[in-house]
């Protein structure tokens, strides 16, 4: 009997593994694969249970957060109806005309509230969205002439935010609130020299000679500058008319300075007549409404947005040459 016949796991005479050796290796690989499969199944099972746990916890957490921030039910009889305008104003932002307008509608309809307070903390944004919100306030005031209305500014009451505040007959701010910036801005990039340097050719086909006006990859022409000035000037005139209507004879600052796009502290805003007095939300409720509580009619943010905000998530946005006109501080 040869060595290979006496040892089934040994190699054959020509050096190749024997059948028994190959079977042993195959069984070992199968066992290892089975172990890997079990680990994969355990991983995905644990992941599913983890996600289910997060989902189960997220619902009550969201409700708790909303109850803390948007307490609509447990208010006393002496309360005001509150609407908040927070952050950049834009059609795709939480501070948009539809969302804020619906909140204002509900707030003005609350016959048990002692009045309406519009709490604003925003640097501004879209002139159109700002105008729509301001016009909605005006319309609701006309349909509810006996409803007392105040706007209060927090960190910022500038540009589009100040535009909105002009819908209220009365405005107050903190002494350090940035206020004003009655101007319009449109920014972008001029990258025509950049693509020339790297030999990049931009191909744009239009029907209409002005369709690609202000293209960021084309040199700025005198006609482009004139058009931009016309657009900004028209929107600025609208803004100025709204401020004149909203503040009237209370303004105590020359118009060339008032409408320069500059902004001031709350103390200066009171001095110049941009606002009526210094306050915060609580003192305003107590002094002007004799109220101790507020029913917040601002729609709460979505669950995803709330959780993202809770963990400090931030989203940065890239503004290209097609950026819309903005009512923002310069």
Question: What is the per-residue pLDDT across 147-172, written as a single tens digit (0 to 9) for each?
Answer: 999 999 999 999 999 999 999 999 99
Question: What is the per-residue pLDDT across 177-186, written as a single tens digit (0 to 9) for each?
Answer: 999 999 998 8
Alpha-helix runs per DSSP H in 70-78: none
User: What is the residue-averaged pLDDT of the chain?
Assistant: 84
Q: Would residue 10 count as lying in a domain?
A: no
Query: 211 or 50: which carries more pLDDT confidence?
Result: 211
In the chain, beta strands by DSSP E: 79-86, 116-122, 149-158, 171-173, 178-180, 263-264, 277-278, 293-296
Q: What is the DSSP track for 217-271?
A: TSPPPHHHHHHHHHHHHHHHHHHHHHHHHHHGGG--S-HHHHTSS-EE-HHHHHH
Q: Would residue 16 count as lying in a domain?
A: no
pLDDT at 58: 62
d(CA 124, CA 132): 13
Q: Would residue 292 count as lying in a domain?
A: yes
Q: Would residue 67 count as lying in a domain?
A: no
Residue 7 has pLDDT above 90, yes or no: no
How far apart are the two ends of the chain, measured CA to CA in Å?
97
CATH number at residue 240: 3.90.226.10
Q: Would residue 150 count as lying in a domain?
A: yes
d(CA 106, CA 174): 27
With cut-offs at 50, 70 and 90, classify the pLDDT of residue 20: confident
Q: Would residue 140 count as lying in a domain?
A: yes
Phi/psi of residue 194, nearest 5 degrees: -65, -50
Q: Would residue 186 count as lying in a domain?
A: yes
CA distances from 316 to 108, 127, 185, 187 (A): 35, 21, 20, 17
Number of domains, the chain: 1
pLDDT at 317: 37
What's the domain range around 117? 76-308
Q: Would residue 230 count as lying in a domain?
A: yes
């Amino acid at each position: 009997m040869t060595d290979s016949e006496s040892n089934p796991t040994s190699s054959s005479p020509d050096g190749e593994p024997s059948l028994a050796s190959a079977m042993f290796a195959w069984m070992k690989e199968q066992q290892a694969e089975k172990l890997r499969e079990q680990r994969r199944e355990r991983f995905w099972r644990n992941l599913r249970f983890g996600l289910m746990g997060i989902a189960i916890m997220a619902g009550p957490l969201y409700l708790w957060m909303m109850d803390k921030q948007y307490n609509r039910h447990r208010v006393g009889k002496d309360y005001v109806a509150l609407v908040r305008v927070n952050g950049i104003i834009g059609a795709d932002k939480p501070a948009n005309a539809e969302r804020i307008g619906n909140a204002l509608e509900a707030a003005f309809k609350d016959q048990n509230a002692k009045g309406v307070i519009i709490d604003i903390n925003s640097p501004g944004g879209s002139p159109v969205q700002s105008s729509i919100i301001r016009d909605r306030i005006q319309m609701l005031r006309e349909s509810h002439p006996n409803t007392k209305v105040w706007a209060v500014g927090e960190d910022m009451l500038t540009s589009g935010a100040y535009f909105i505040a002009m819908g209220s007959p009365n405005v107050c701010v903190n002494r350090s609130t940035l206020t004003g910036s009655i101007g319009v801005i449109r920014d972008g990039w001029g990258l025509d020299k950049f693509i020339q340097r790297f030999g990049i050719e931009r191909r744009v086909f239009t029907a209409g000679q002005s369709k690609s006006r202000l293209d960021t990859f084309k040199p700025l022409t005198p006609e482009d500058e004139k058009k931009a000035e016309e657009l900004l000037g028209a929107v600025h005139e609208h803004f100025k008319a709204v401020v004149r209507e909203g503040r009237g004879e209370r303004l105590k600052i020359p118009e060339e300075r008032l409408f320069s796009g500059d902004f001031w502290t709350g103390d200066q805003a009171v001095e110049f007549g941009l606002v009526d007095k210094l306050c915060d939300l609580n003192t305003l409720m107590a002094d002007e409404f004799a109220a101790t509580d507020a029913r917040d009619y601002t729609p709460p943010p979505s669950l995803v947005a709330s959780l993202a905000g809770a963990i400090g998530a931030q989203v940065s946005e890239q503004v290209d040459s097609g950026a819309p006109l903005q009512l923002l501080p310069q």
